[in-house]
Amino acid sequence: MCGLAPPRPSHSVWEPLTVPSLFVIRGNDQGTRFELNEPTIGLGRDSSNRVQLHDTEVSRRHAEIRRVDGGYAIADLESSNGTYVNGQRIRLHRLRSGDRVQVGRTLMLYTGPAEEGLTDVRQQVDIASPQQTGDRSRIIHSITGEEGSRIFDFEAEVPQNSWLARARSNLQIMYRTALAVSHTLDIDQLLQRIMELIFEWVDADRGCIMLIDPKTQKLEPQVRHVRRSTRADEKITVSQTIVDYVMERNEGVLTSDARQDDRWDAAASILQMGIREAICVPMQGRYDVVGLIYIDTFTTPQDIIHNVRANKFTQDHLKLMIAIAHQAALAVEDTRYYSAMVHAERLAAVGQTIATLSHHIKNILQGIRGGSYLIEMGLADHDESLVAKGWKIVEKNQNKISTLVMDMLTFSKEREPELVPADLNQVTADVIELMQARAEELDVELHWHPDPAIPTLVFDPEGVHRAVLNVVTNALDAAAESPERGRVEVTTEMCAGEGRVRVMVDDNGPGIPKDQIDKLFSPFVSSKGGRGTGLGLPVSKKIIGEHGGQILVESEPNQGSRFTLELPAMMPDNDPSAQTDGPVQDDRPARAD
């Protein structure tokens, strides 16, 4: 029988989090996320600021973040070193998602509230079957992604030297640059690919890409490329004057050393020396110039004599190089921010883990100290009842540390469930029996409704025991918060038709706030204050997930919650040792009935 109890209205679990935040991606506070949830939020070095930064270059009261129609703005409070948004010094700036706020040495990334439009779009766009819509459209032509890249291929009827051919060629090179940029997160590989593309398209002999090292702020060569006919060991020397010009003015340049000066015999000079032409362009990203691309070519005196075209580089080349450099710069910036974010997130996670673990261990230690203190007193006063009382507290805390360690091990281990034929009702009944004492302690009724139709199934009984135990423990704690008498109902059900089996745990606790449901299964986010380890539900989810199942949560404020642990109902195969009726013959001891 399926659906023993009607499902409660559920909150969508995938709803995006809407709290705007500042996330520190560089500086002493790297990895800290400041949630912005008040009308006015101080930012500065002083501890009175909600956004307190441990940065000596930040003023005590440096800036203020103010709520303005649906978002936030940042205002500088006449700080000594100023407030910068996306590299520009600001006095007041309306923040947009993705803005980079720099104060002192600290760099933060702003994430705004979820766009309201998002929910509207969901309501306004549907994916529906043709039967529902009456749509009679059919596919009349299809094209692969690969084919798309041929959009700019030359066609026979376009004369090769026409402006149209050049325009197509330019578009094609931009398209290919965009593709190259989108296909990798490895900066070296990306720059190498871009250099190759440039060489395919322009008659350059040598080229290099230099990036500004974020730490030293100096230009460092990253990629060097030479045409095969050129001597590979030849050193590329780029004029400092050109580099400075390009970086300072953020302009691309086309240079040639062909003498323009009338006072010299230009032709003679060229014949002696040949001509070197170069293009040098800044790599302008979304926020900063991240580096430059340089290419040059050399026309020998012999070539000039033999009438080979001298001016190989044109203004068109320069324009296109600027466009390519911009694409490359965007990719470099994205990659760098991505890595910085990953690093910062990791630091934040490690910090959070250590903070939470030490909090739990501290509380357990406090309990053990309390128990020991009573035992000491009891021994000194020859009072056995006091010793017994102290011992009970010590024992309880021993169990707590054992649970914490077991949860930590289960959570950290990459383990395969030990699948054996077992009885789900028995496993659940064991949990109920084990938790009955705790339920009485909390004055909560614990009821158990097994579905007798559940046959012997294949699953990891120890794992599932732990998963159910953690969910029931949570339910008991939640029910204890109920203003009425606390009540927890545990129900099993077999859905033979769906090939699924379920354990449902209902409580009449205060329910789970909508915005907390998402976080329930994240490790170390306990909403139970000091009682939970913050690992219980993540461990349950991991175990059930390893079985190919899932945990569903339905909750209604002030009415309670239902956790459904859903497992695939795997029947034992025909192996006589795994018969459903006979005793379990396995390496492991059979579970007592």
Partner 1 sequence: MRPQRSVLIVDRSEDSQEVLRTVLERRGWRTLAARRAEEGLEMARRYQPDLIVLDLELEECPPEDVYPRFERQASASGHHLIALGTVRPRGAGHGHGQFVAKPYHYGPLVRRIEQMLEQRSVVARAG
| Interface residues toward partner 1, by CB under 8 A | 47, 359, 362-363, 365-367, 369-371, 373-374, 377, 386, 389-390, 393, 396-397, 528-530
CA distance 96 to 22: 11
**How many C-beta atoms surround the C-beta of residue 149 within 10 A?**
13
Closer residue to partner 1 in complex, CB, 462/481: 481
In this structure, are residues 545 and 414 in contact, taking their beta carbons and an 8 Å threshold? no
In this structure, are residues 115 and 16 in contact, taking their beta carbons and an 8 Å threshold? no
DSSP 8-state symbol, 20: -
In this structure, are residues 474 and 518 in contact, taking their beta carbons and an 8 Å threshold? no
Report, in Å, the least distance between residue 581 CB and partner 1: 47
Closer residue to partner 1 in complex, CB, 112/367: 367
Report, in Å, the least distance between residue 370 CB and partner 1: 4
Closer residue to partner 1 in complex, CB, 422/480: 480
Closer residue to partner 1 in complex, CB, 109/374: 374
Closer residue to partner 1 in complex, CB, 390/549: 390
Q: Could you tell me which residues are beta bridge partners of residue 277? A: 256, 297
Report, in Å, the least distance between residue 12 CB and partner 1: 26
Report, in Å, the least distance between residue 181 CB and partner 1: 46
Closer residue to partner 1 in complex, CB, 36/103: 36
Report, in Å, the least distance between residue 584 CB and partner 1: 40
Report residue 442 CA to chain centroid gap: 39
What string of DSSP letters covers 452-491? TT---EEE-HHHHHHHHHHHHHHHHHHHTT-SS-EEEEEE
Rounded (5°) CA angle 397-402-408:
125
In this structure, are residues 561 and 537 in contact, taking their beta carbons and an 8 Å threshold? no
Report, in Å, the least distance between residue 41 CB and partner 1: 15
Q: Give the E-state strand segments of 409-465 in sequence order.
A: 420-422, 444-449, 457-459
Rounded (5°) CA angle 271-276-277:
130
Q: Which of 177, 167, 204 is nearest to 316 (CA)?
A: 167
DSSP 8-state symbol, 119: H
Distance set, CA 372 to CA 377, 386, 400 (Å): 9, 10, 16
Report, in Å, the least distance between residue 384 CB and partner 1: 14
Report, in Å, the least distance between residue 353 CB and partner 1: 17
Report, in Å, the least distance between residue 145 CB and partner 1: 52
Closer residue to partner 1 in complex, CB, 82/370: 370
Closer residue to partner 1 in complex, CB, 341/365: 365
Q: Which two tokens stand for residue 205?
A: 């002999």
The one-letter amino acid at 271: L
Closer residue to partner 1 in complex, CB, 338/373: 373
